[in-house]
Amino acid sequence: MKKAGILGGGQLGRMLLQAAVNYPVETYLMENEEKAPAAHLCHHFTKGDITRFEDVYDFGKHLDFLTIEIENVNLEALEKLCEEGVIVYPNPAALKIIKNKIQQKQFYLEHNIPTSAFVETHSIEELKNNAHLFPAVHKVSNGGYDGKGVQIIRNIEDCHKGFHTAAVLEKMVNIKQEIAIIIAVGNDGQIAIYPPVDMVFDQMLNLLSYQICPAEIPQSVFWKAEAIAINAVKNLKSPGLFAVEMFADNDGNVLINEIAPRVHNSGHHTIEGNYSSQFDMMWRIMLDYPLGNTAIIQSTALVNLIGEEGHSGDAIYFGMNEVLSMDNTFVHIYGKQKTKPGRKMGHITVISNEKQELLHKVNKIKNSLSVRSQTL
Amino acid sequence: MKKAGILGGGQLGRMLLQAAVNYPVETYLMENEEKAPAAHLCHHFTKGDITRFEDVYDFGKHLDFLTIEIENVNLEALEKLCEEGVIVYPNPAALKIIKNKIQQKQFYLEHNIPTSAFVETHSIEELKNNAHLFPAVHKVSNGGYDGKGVQIIRNIEDCHKGFHTAAVLEKMVNIKQEIAIIIAVGNDGQIAIYPPVDMVFDQMLNLLSYQICPAEIPQSVFWKAEAIAINAVKNLKSPGLFAVEMFADNDGNVLINEIAPRVHNSGHHTIEGNYSSQFDMMWRIMLDYPLGNTAIIQSTALVNLIGEEGHSGDAIYFGMNEVLSMDNTFVHIYGKQKTKPGRKMGHITVISNEKQELLHKVNKIKNSLSVRSQTL
């Protein structure tokens, strides 16, 4: 059996290992937290720091191949492993481009991939000197994740919130819709494209409200988005799975926002909604099997289950019975011991070919299900 | 989180634990073989003998609930655990009836459930004295499994093949079709019924060739089968999941063959074919959630992947690429290290609403996929 490694033991690792159960593969996982969501589902668990060279190198050197569930891993160790014949998904060169937000933006420019205007900054002074881009988004170049290392700069008064380190300042896009497309790339360069997802945001909370697939977008937007996603992924020149997040503006333009070079939240609905899920697809790529079928079985809506405000501590789930009494509703709890405000604790997928049914159930789920802590 | 135990670590335990990933539950597994298919997928593995009182009792006493993946477990330990408040699925009284083939037959008689004529025998002499039932099937009362402890007795000359111990002799049925129906029973007694499956046998090899769902049976046979299955399961008076195997004869009669009080091979297609799979359903029952939706998403055909004749040793899979290049074909490899002739090594499910497509793909799978050993 092939020996497969995963760096990181969160929900992405958990669902990857759930899909691995179908295939002949021996799984290894490295993660600092022994009770992480994925830790108990591998054949071999290694406690270690995925950002440390020695830990990653020692973990990887006896494996056939390796993947990541988060970009914040030790790149140098992956480069050395690659040189020594361990296959890494995505390859370190692609990961290097994506890990660094400045390089990622420059990559888009080089390959004529439409993206919002930007400048590189290294200090609050430089930030202030680029007021022509305001309102803008300021993002630290390295290590930002899930809202951390990101600030909205509307005007000069906001500049103190910016970052006094290598960062990228991006002109804000007049967003009409956020779309994501997942693309699988096989070892031979063959690609398979999933139908686009529409990420619907709650304008009041500035939070993802739910996502729906297939996205309801004009045909011209679909064509642009698919062309942009394919162009971006092909130019990364790496096998693996890539989630391409894009903005469609009010003028029908499509701009790339960012790429995640791995399984991604915007693809969780594929577990029930598509013949081959993103997790199944990832194993097919790594085990060098034919790519799976990305076609839709039924339309889906997906709601993230987020730790409730004001609750930190051992997680308790309220409303499971209400949600599970709805037909064709699939609950995925990530098994995190502790909840905290805003933490991703699970997701729920609804499948149906009736859009009204999807939206009705999304609303019911949002009103019934919550994660709180035992003690406030 | 609730603490859940599974006795046995084969493919049924493996797929149960795969489904458990979606729910907040802490999993315990007991099994003698540390490299068994399910062993690495639980939170807590205990090496132990599921037929030994002490092992089962010690394993179970700190759990909230417990289930089995094979009937051959220590019943006395389960009875004691039940008395002490651990919930056992199925309950020990139901398991006791099913574990003993004589009691199982008597149970059918008591509840007017149609079944083939039979007598209890304890010796070859008694077997010979019941020639009026020939051709018949002789089954040891306790511990027979997957073809072991079963002999076909066509005439007096065959009697030496019979069992000189407690056994049941059943008149052979003129089988037209073998049908299975899976029924889920919640803690409150509510039931959910899966559509019937047609088990298609290879007459030459006397082996299950493939199974197809929904079964193609006359409406009258469907009604009889469903009524028999419900009657049998309700009278077992136990929550859990039950696979009821039945024969339909050439005269349109339906007879019960046997009941498995657990997830079962005849329900593996539900992973892809039904909204709630048998494994998902089992967790819903045990976690006291509402029962799932048993409706069919698409029709399915299922092929078991069986260890090839003449091959014993470390398993290698041939033809994975051919099979995985077919759309809407789902491979489940059980991760058994060693193959041997006739051993269940995996299964493959095809989904489609076109019967011809199902049968075409079943044939392609049978001709491409095989499990052999590294060395003969």
> What CATH number is given to the structural domain containing B68?
3.40.50.20
User: Average pLDDT in the A22-46 region?
Assistant: 98
> What is the per-residue pLDDT for A146?
61
Expressed in percent and rounded to 5, the helix, strand and coil fractions of chain B are 30, 35, 35
Residues A351 and A204 in one domain: yes
Tell me the pTM: 0.96
Strands (E), A71-220: 87-89, 118-121, 136-140, 150-153, 167-171, 175-185, 191-193, 197-202, 207-213
Q: What is the pLDDT of residue B353?
A: 94
| Residue B145 confidence class, pLDDT cut points 50, 70, 90 | low
Residue B152 has which token pair? Answer: 């076909």
Within 10 angstroms of residue B374's Cβ, the number of other Cβ atoms is 10
Note the pLDDT of residue A142: 87
Return the ∠ at Cα B5 (arms to A32 and A330), rounded to 5°. Answer: 70
Same domain membership, residue A272 and residue A206 = yes
Which of these three, B72, B89, B106, is where a domain ends?
Answer: B89
Q: Checking DSSP bridges between strand B240-249 and strand B175-185, what pairing results, if any?
A: antiparallel
**A298-324 pLDDT per residue, tens:** 999 999 999 999 999 999 999 999 999
**Contact check, Cβ <8 Å, B289/A327:** no
Residue B348 above 70 pLDDT? yes
Q: Mean pLDDT across the stretch B4-18?
A: 98
Chain B residues touching A351 at Cβ < 8 A: 275
Q: CB–CB of B21 and A40 under 8 A? A: no
Residues A64-82, buried b or exposed e (16+ Cβ, 10 A)?
bbbbbbbbebbbebbbbbb
Nearest CB among A295, A297, A324 relative to B289 is that of A324
**For residues B177 and B197, is the Cβ–Cβ distance under 8 A?**
no
The pLDDT score that the predictor gives to residue B146 is 61
Residue B376 has pLDDT above 60, yes or no: no
Q: Say how far apart CA A119 and CA B308 lie, in whole Å.
A: 63
Q: How far is CA A338 from CA A37, A310, A315, in A?
A: 11, 13, 5
Q: Are residues B201 and B257 in the same domain?
A: yes
Average pLDDT over residues B160-176: 94
Q: What sign for the dihedral angle of Cα A82, A86, A87, A88?
A: negative
Per-residue pLDDT, B202: 79
Share of chain A above pLDDT 70, in %: 98
Angle at A274 between CA B243 and CA A231, to 5 degrees: 160
Nearest one of A232, A235, A234, A265 to A246, comparing CA atoms: A232
Left (φ > 0), alpha (ψ -120 to 50) or beta: where does A240 sit? Answer: left
CA angle B331, B334, B337 (to 5 degrees): 130
Q: Is the pLDDT of residue B236 over 80?
A: yes
**Would you call A15 an interface residue with chain B, using a CB distance cutoff of 8 Å?**
yes
Residue linked to tokens 């020695």? A54
A374 touches chain B (CB under 8 A): no
Confidence (pLDDT) at A348: 98
Question: Taking 90 as the threshold, does the pLDDT of residue B322 lie above it?
Answer: yes
Q: Do A23 and B315 touch (CB under 8 A)?
A: no
User: Is the model's pLDDT at A160 over the cut of 60?
Assistant: yes
Cβ-defined contact of B15 to A21 (cutoff 8 Å): yes
Strand, helix or coil at B197? strand
Phi, psi dihedral angles at A340 (to 5 degrees): -150, 160
Q: Long-range pairs for B99-106 at CB < 8 Å and ≥24 separation?
A: B99/B71, B99/B72, B99/B75, B99/B142, B100/B141, B100/B142, B101/B139, B101/B140, B101/B141, B101/B142, B101/B144, B101/B167, B101/B168, B101/B258, B102/B141, B102/B166, B102/B168, B104/B258, B104/B259, B105/B168, B105/B170
Tell me how many domains chain B contains.
3
Distance to chain B for A24, nearest Cα, Å: 6
A236-240: average pLDDT:
98
A328 CA to chain B: closest CA distance, Å? Answer: 6
Q: Which of B17, B27, B327 lies at the smallest CB-CB distance from A293? A: B327
B18–A21 C-beta distance less than 8 A: yes
Q: Does A138 touch chain B (CB under 8 A)?
A: no
Question: Can you read off the two tokens belonging to residue B301?
Answer: 């055909």
Please list every residue in chain B whose beta carbon sits closer than 8 Å to the beta carbon of residue A321: 289-290
Q: Which residues of A touch B290 (CB under 8 A)?
A: 321, 324-325
Do A138 and A124 share a structural domain?
Answer: yes
Q: Which of B298, B327, B333 sits opposite A24 (nearest CB)?
A: B333
Looking at residue B275, its pLDDT comes to 98
Residues of B whose CB is below 8 A from A27: 40
**Best CA proximity match to B67, nearest among B22, B29, B26:** B29
Q: What is the mean pLDDT of chain B?
A: 95
Residues of B in contact with A275 (CB under 8 A): 327-328
Pick B24's closest partner by Cβ from A21, A325, A335. A335
Integer Cα distance of B230 and B183 in angstroms = 8
Q: What angle do CA A310, A371, A149 make, to 5 degrees?
A: 60
- Do residues A252 and A351 share a domain? yes
CA–CA dist A250, B230 (Å, integer): 58
Give every CB contact of residue A271 below 8 A, 6+ residues apart in sequence: A15, A277, A278, A279, A330, A332, A349
The enclosing domain of B328 has a CATH number of 3.30.470.20
> What's the gap in Å between the CA of A91 and the closest CA on chain B?
24
Size of interface A-B (CB pairs under 8 A): 74
CB contact under 8 A, B21 and A42: no
Who has greater pLDDT, B312 or A201? B312
Mean pLDDT of chain A: 95
Question: How many angstroms separate the CA atoms of A50 and B104, rounded?
Answer: 56
Instruction: Find the residue in A nearest to B353 (Cα).
Output: A297
A46 to chain B, any CB pair closer than 8 A? The answer is: no
- Is pLDDT at B7 greater than 60 in this prediction? yes
pLDDT at residue A148, as a whole number? 79
Q: Shortest CB distance from A24 goes to which of B22, B317, B327?
A: B317
Residue B138 structure tokens = 């002789």
Q: Are B28 and B59 in contact (CB under 8 A)?
A: yes
- pLDDT band at residue B201 under the 50/70/90 scheme: confident
pLDDT at B375: 67
Q: Establish if A262 belongs to a structural domain.
A: yes
Do residue B21 and residue A43 have CB atoms under 8 angstroms apart?
no
- Evaluate if residue A376 carries a pLDDT over 60: no
Answer yes or no: do A14 and B21 touch at CB < 8 A: yes
CATH code for the domain in which residue B139 is found: 3.30.1490.20
Tell me the residue type at B42: C
CA A40 to centroid of chain Cα atoms: 22
Task: Report the residue of chain B nearest A322, measured CA to CA.
Answer: B290
Q: Which two tokens stand for residue B281?
A: 């359903």
Band (B355; pLDDT cuts 50, 70, 90): very high
Which residues from B are below 8 Å from A335, CB to CB?
21, 24
Q: How far is CA A360 from CA A203, A302, A363, in A?
A: 19, 12, 5
Q: Are residues A16 and A161 in the same domain?
A: no
Please tell me whether residue B193 adopts helix, strand or coil conformation: strand
Do the domain assignments include residue A329? Answer: yes
User: Do the beta carbons of residue A131 and residue A99 sit within 8 Å?
Assistant: no
Are A162 and A240 members of one domain?
no
pLDDT of residue A93: 98
Residues of B in contact with A293 (CB under 8 A): 327-328
Residue B121 belongs to some domain of the structure: yes
For residue A36, give the chain B residue with the closest CA: B43
Cβ neighbour number for residue B34 with a 10 Å cutoff: 10
CB A28 within 8 A of CB A5: yes
Tell me the pLDDT band of B148, cut-offs 50, 70 and 90.
confident
pLDDT at residue A143 is higher than 80:
no
Question: How many angstroms separate the most distant Cα atoms in chain A?
Answer: 59
Task: Give the whole-angstrom CA distance, residue B284 versus residue B305.
Answer: 28
B positions 261-300 inside 8 Å of A (CB): 275, 284, 289-290, 292-293, 295, 297-298
Contacts of A42 in chain B (CB under 8 A): 40
Average pLDDT over residues A271-298: 98
Model pLDDT, residue A132: 95
Q: Across the interface, do B21 and A24 touch by the CB < 8 Å criterion?
A: no
Interstrand relation of A175-185 and A167-171 (parallel, antiparallel or unpaired): unpaired
- Helix H or strand E encompassing B278: helix B278-286
Give the whole-angstrom CA distance, residue B324 versus residue B211: 19
The whole-number average pLDDT for the span B74-83 is 98
- B296 to chain A: closest CA residue: A328
Asked whether residue B36 falls in the same domain as residue B183, the answer is no
Q: Is residue A94 part of a domain?
A: no
**Statement: residue A82 has pLDDT above 90:** yes
User: Does residue B152 sit at the A interface (CB-CB below 8 Å)?
Assistant: no
User: Residue A88: how many CB atoms within 10 A of its CB?
Assistant: 27
Between residues 314 and 373 of chain A, which touch chain B (CB distance below 8 Å)?
Answer: 315, 317, 320-321, 324-325, 327-328, 330-333, 335, 351
CA distance A333 to chain B (A): 5
The confidence score (pLDDT) of residue A170 equals: 96
Q: How far lies A253's CA from each of A212, A215, A247, A249, A343, in Å?
A: 21, 16, 8, 5, 32
Q: Which residues of chain B does A290 touch, with a Cβ-Cβ cutoff of 8 Å?
A: 321, 324-325
Same domain assignment for residues A43 and A58: yes
For residues A137-162, give the mean pLDDT. 88
Q: Same domain for B255 and B145?
A: no
Q: Which one-letter amino acid corresponds to residue A282?
A: M
Domain that holds residue B9: 2-89
Residue A146 inside a domain? The answer is yes
**Residue A132 CB-density burial (10 A; 0-12 exposed, 13-18 middle, 19+ buried):** exposed
Q: What is the pLDDT of residues B31-65, one digit of tens each?
A: 999 999 999 999 999 999 999 999 999 999 999 99
The answer to whether residues B134 and B190 belong to one domain is no
pLDDT at A145 (0 to 100): 64
Contact A328 B275 (CB under 8 A): yes
Q: What number is the average pLDDT over the span B336-362?
A: 96
Spatial separation of the C-alpha atoms in residues B14 and B19, rounded to whole Å: 9
From the list A290, A328, A333, the residue facing B293 with the nearest CB is: A328
Q: What percent of chain A has pLDDT over 90?
A: 94
Contacts of B157 (CB under 8 A, 6+ apart): none
- Does one domain contain both B166 and B180? no
Q: Mark which of A140, A171, A202 sits at the end of a domain.
A: A171
Reduced to 3 DSSP states, what percent helix, strand and coil does chain A have, rounded to the nearest 5?
30, 35, 35
Amino acid at the residue B322: E
A292 chain-B contacts, CB cut-off 8 A: 324
Look at strands A136-140 and A150-153 and give their pairing.
antiparallel
